[in-house]
């Protein structure tokens, strides 16, 4: 099971699951170092590392041991991924956060009907992080990745925050609807 570094990418390319785990263990710190140099936050670096390993698993078969060592191949691949991420980020328009007044003062803007008042109450009962994530994702139509970038929170955390917020609002709305129903 003790594979030499020269055969590890060939095993990954062949679909060996132990080689995949081994490549993460062996080259994870190297990829993390590259990602951290190119990223402004640790959360962004985590997403970048995932992207690099996704790309590595797809392109492991392209490694030619006669031309370059595995660590050099992985560093070049990681660097290329980081450059592509930076280019994608520069092409996106700058995100403008929604003013807190719009987020916190939901009841005044929704006070026109009973259902809207109940919805506003459900939103104000949320944890502030959940409320902000839900407001950006649904209220402003941002993607989870955009919310993560704007909030400087890992993408997986944003997904969890939005999901938990939706579940909490749904529960509260159902409970209130049952109270109000004749």
Fold identical between 5-91 and 100-180?
A: no
Q: For residue 14, what pLDDT is reported?
A: 87
Q: For residue 105, what pLDDT is reported?
A: 53
At the topology level of CATH, where does 5-91 sit? Rna Polymerase Sigma Factor; Chain: A (1.10.1740)
Alpha carbon of 142 to those of 110, 139, 175: distances in Å?
A: 21, 8, 29
Q: For residue 110, what pLDDT is reported?
A: 44
Q: For residue 29, what pLDDT is reported?
A: 93
Domain ranges of the chain: 5-91, 100-180
Q: For residue 80, what pLDDT is reported?
A: 94
Name the nearest CA neighbour of 82 among 135, 110, 44.
44
**pLDDT < 50: residue spans in the chain:** 1, 3, 107-111
CATH code for the domain defined by 100-180:
1.10.10.10
| pTM, full prediction | 0.49
Q: For residue 114, what pLDDT is reported?
A: 65
Alpha carbon of 28 to those of 13, 39, 160: distances in Å?
A: 17, 16, 25
Alpha carbon of 156 to those of 37, 46, 153, 174: distances in Å?
A: 21, 10, 8, 27
């Amino acid at each position: 099971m003790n594979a030499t570094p020269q055969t590890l990418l060939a095993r990954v390319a062949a679909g060996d699951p132990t080689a995949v785990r081994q490549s993460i263990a062996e080259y994870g710190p190297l990829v993390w170092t590259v990602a951290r140099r190119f990223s402004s936050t640790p959360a962004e670096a985590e997403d970048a590392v995932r992207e690099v390993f996704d790309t590595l698993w797809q392109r492991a078969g392209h490694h030619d041991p006669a031309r370059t060592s595995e660590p050099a191949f992985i560093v070049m691949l990681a660097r290329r991924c980081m450059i592509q991420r930076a280019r994608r980020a520069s092409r996106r328009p700058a995100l403008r956060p929604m003013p807190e007044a719009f987020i916190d003062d939901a009841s005044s803007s929704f006070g026109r009907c009973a259902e809207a008042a109940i919805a506003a109450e459900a939103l104000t009962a949320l944890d502030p992080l959940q409320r902000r994530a839900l407001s950006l994702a649904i209220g402003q139509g941002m993607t989870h990745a955009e919310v993560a970038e704007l909030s400087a929170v890992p993408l997986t955390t944003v997904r969890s925050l939005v999901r938990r917020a939706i579940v909490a609002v749904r529960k509260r709305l159902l409970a209130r609807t049952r109270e109000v129903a004749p």
